[in-house]
Structure 1
């Protein structure tokens, strides 16, 4: 089981007023990494056909979860990181904004589980849901390692199933 003690925290990073939760200690421990992946893996019968990993730290957990479930994976990348015909969306986050892209191939009709490390304001997750829905996903649900309960992320994602391994 993952606890808050398993994260390193850095106040005022990357901007003043933000408390950064670092997953490096979890990644450094095979037991904690396995526990994190297990906590993000939905139970059998949850109705998932495809895993989507979000750039960058969602990429760490998503392939392991996809392999554990015997599913394929797709990537949601920051703009400029993938070639081809891509869907794009703007994400407004707690301390800035970014542009995200998705290759829509293989998404249509799929029930997608999006994996990312932290749910804060929900800006990135909402942009990811928009991309996947425009690509034809039948449903979009989310798995987060850590959710910051004082921020509106869960409310922003109303209408989507959201599972967080730990809420602070």
Structure 2
């Protein structure tokens, strides 16, 4: 089981007042990485048809989870990183804003598991959920490696199933 001790921390990164939790130690260890991917898996009774990995650190875990579940994967990218007809959303995050996009093809009627590294304010996750619903997803659920419990992320996702491996 992944714990808080598995992360390195960097105060005042990327801006003053933010404590950055680095997943590099988890990625450097095959055993810890495997445990993280297992910990991010949905409950056995959860219906998942596709996994959505969120740019950028969600991309690391999402393909492994998707392969383990035997389902495909889609990417939620920062604007300007995907071609074609896309859905867009603005996300307000703990230390700024971000524009996100997703290709809506293959989402309609599917049950989506969204994988990301950290749940903080919920701005990114909420924007992702709105794009997936606009694309016609049958359901959206979330799995995060870490959740900052003092921030309103879980409240922003109150109408979704949310799992977090580590809550601080």
**1:4 matches 2:7:** no
> What is the root-mean-square deviation of aligned Cα atoms in Å?
0.5
| Residue segments in structure 2 that go unaligned for 5+ positions in a row | none
Corresponding residue for 1:63?
63
Q: State the TM-score, normalizing by the size of structure 2.
A: 0.99
| Residue segments in structure 1 that go unaligned for 5+ positions in a row | none
The CA distance in 2 between the partners of 1:49 and 1:85, in whole Å, is 22
How do 1:27-46 and structure 2 match up within 5 A?
27-46=27-46
The CA distance in 1 between the partners of 2:107 and 2:64, in whole Å, is 19
Query: Structure 1 residue runs of 4+, over 4 Å off?
Result: none
Q: Deviations over 1:52-102 (max 9, x none)?
A: 000000000000000000000000000000000000000000000010000
Shift of 1:162: 0.2
Shift of 1:42: 1.3
The CA distance in 2 between the partners of 1:45 and 1:146, in whole Å, is 22
Corresponding residue for 1:151?
151
The CA distance in 2 between the partners of 1:21 and 1:44, in whole Å, is 29
How do 1:15-164 and structure 2 match up within 5 A?
15-164=15-164
**How many aligned positions are there?**
168
